[in-house]
Amino acid sequence: MMSTGPTSHFVTLPNRLIVQANGKVDQGSLKLHYWEWEGRQPTIIFCHAASFHGRCYDPIINEALHGFHVIALDFRGHGRSQTHPPPYRFRWFAEDVLQFIETLNIPTNHLIGIGHSVGGYALSAAAALASKRLFQALLLLDPVIFSPSTYHESDTISFDANYIRRRKSQSSSVNDMISRLEKREPFSRWPQQTLRNYCTYALDENHKLVCEPEGEASIYETSTQFDSNIYPLIEKSKFINEIPIHIVRTSTATSSNPFDISPTNPDLYKSFRKGQDTQLENMKHFFPMEQPEIVVDLVKKYISEIIREMVSKKPIAIIIGVGPGLGASLAKRFATGGYSIGLIARKESSIQPVQKKLEQQGHTCSLSVTADASDISSMKNAFHTIRTKFGSDPEVLLYNASRFIYNSILDLKPDTLQNALNISVIGGLVASQEVLPSMVKQGKGTILFTGATASLRGSAKFAGCSVPKFALRSLSQSMARELGPKGIHVAHIIIDGQINTPNQMQSQPDRDINSFLNSDAIAETYWQLHVQPRSTWTQELDLRPSMEKF
């Protein structure tokens, strides 16, 4: 879950255009600040309006995005990020966002952008500039993207920002700034906590505005200049039309305060293949600060819809028998391969760490379900839960459940052996029957069973293991012969040796690492079996370390 509050971070972007002290524009290092709320995927990057900062949107982030991984960026010249002499150009904000995402190596397959005002421009322009799909979705709140005819072909300044330059930049304290602004519009319409957040992080250590009036004025003055025109970028982009982009704009067209007026082209949504437009009546440009509860509802609904769409587009792999070893590696490999992952294990303590790690690695679409592989109704309920969550049937089944039994044949109780058979064979049969109707209908699918040394030979005191494993191997052979002609690949993988699970490694600290099977390497083999061409399907494969005797 999300931490109680965000943590503060800095990142340095190399080779960015920066205005030097002498007024010359040159490349240099740019130090940007961002706030991070830890949580599950997807990652949401939140970009603010001009002259504000990332903490102005705390009510929205804390309410609508609770539990998600959120990054609120401070643009250059704002919040705690690096400042430089003006101007601050629109295009630079977009380029900064793109390089920020690339520098932090944020997984773009689970990245959603939410931007207000200039922040909306920066996110959409970054998406247009990117050499790949940058976002899974964008929510633009009254973005500063004018009609095409508004932009100039030169550095002509059409925005009179002189009144901004006359603003007071020095306060004696945060409270002094609050008491002054709470009497003025639009700040008088803000909730008290939002205003306090703004004032707290808008001032430097000397209680001076970080985004000084001269710098803020330059932002507006460059807003209609040629390099701020996003439309040519959209036309050239190969990827922005893949992104669902929802534009939420206000209806205010005239006002004595120019900052009440919506700067958004009413037809902007038509510029995006997956564009959507929503107009809010009786609201002003700073509606996220003035009426955060409206945006909370919007964001909650939007994120829910996008996650549902992300999940529905992915094929599903179900892994039964999940722990810190092979099960975890299989989950990671198939998630990396683009699959939604359904995890089934008997104990929640075995399964939750695996799902948490998947989410930390950027794999949003995973679901863990506790079920007993020896219990038919429990297994059926688990599959029902996964189908309901993902909305479709699995394309891959990886059956990894088994029970380890080591004792004399004289001590092996019939009910113990029966339980082991139920887990390995009946569980494997039930799981297969749950996925096969859809696989047969689609004419494709993969079912992989995990075997062991005991699948090939029965050793002394291992009857409790070898009998179920022999039976599972037989089941896989029968299924492969029946289902192969129907396009379903059934294979049996013999794990002939010990896997490098944490417990095995800790209990045998002096053992040569090369005498263990590496779980990630095994998982890669499962993946290669899954993607094998039909002309060269493997039915059985045995894996062992080079040092293992056989």
Q: Kindly report, residue by residue over 247-293, the tens digit of the pLDDT.
A: 999 987 677 777 889 999 999 999 999 999 999 998 999 999 999 99
Place of tokens 């700034």: 177
Q: Where are the beta strands (DSSP E) in 505-546?
A: 540-543
Q: In terms of domains, do 528 and 433 share one?
A: yes
Token reading at 228: 């701020």
What is the span of the domain harbouring residue 305? 7-310
Mean per-residue pLDDT of the chain: 93
Provide CB contacts within 8 A for 361, sequence distance 6+.
107, 332, 335
**pLDDT band for position 3 (50/70/90)?**
very low
Provide CB contacts within 8 A for 442, sequence distance 6+.
395, 487
Q: In terms of domains, do 42 and 14 share one?
A: yes
Token reading at 176: 């002094």
pLDDT at position 157 is 55
Q: In terms of domains, do 164 and 298 share one?
A: yes
pLDDT at position 357 is 86
By the 8 A CB rule, do 86 and 218 touch? Answer: yes
Q: What is the mean pLDDT of residues 461-478?
A: 96
By the 8 A CB rule, do 365 and 40 touch? Answer: no
Q: In terms of domains, do 82 and 167 share one?
A: yes
Beta-bridged to residue 447, according to DSSP, are 397, 490
Counting beta carbons within 10 angstroms of the beta carbon of residue 547, is it exposed (0 to 12), middle (13 to 18) or buried (19 or more)?
exposed
Of the three residues 295, 310, 325, the one that is the final residue of a domain is 310
Is 550 contained in some domain?
Answer: no
Q: Where are the beta strands (DSSP E) in 197-258?
A: 245-250
**pLDDT band for position 1 (50/70/90)?**
very low
**pLDDT band for position 481 (50/70/90)?**
very high
Q: In terms of domains, do 180 and 220 share one?
A: yes
Secondary structure element (H or E) that encloses residue 318, with its range: strand 316-320
Is 548 contained in some domain?
Answer: no
Q: Return d(Cα 449, Cα 527) in angstroms, integer.
A: 13
Of the three residues 280, 310, 340, the one that is the final residue of a domain is 310
Select from 448, 542, 457 the least CA-distant residue to 488. Answer: 448
Q: Return d(Cα 251, Cα 284) in angstroms, integer.
A: 7
Q: What is the mean pLDDT of residues 157-163?
A: 66
The secondary structure of residue 375, as a DSSP letter, is -
Q: In terms of domains, do 407 and 327 share one?
A: yes
Task: Report the number of distinct structural domains present in the chain.
Answer: 2
pTM of the model: 0.70
Tally of residues, the chain: 550
Q: Give the CATH number of the domain where residue 448 resides.
A: 3.40.50.720
Q: In terms of domains, do 396 and 289 share one?
A: no
Place of tokens 């549902």: 308
Of the three residues 294, 310, 326, the one that is the final residue of a domain is 310
**pLDDT band for position 39 (50/70/90)?**
confident
**pLDDT band for position 154 (50/70/90)?**
low
- Percentage of the chain beyond pLDDT 70 is 97
Q: In terms of domains, do 448 and 340 share one?
A: yes
Q: Where are the alpha helices (DSSP H) in 142-266?
A: 162-165, 174-181, 192-202, 213-221, 231-236
Q: In terms of domains, do 30 and 106 share one?
A: yes
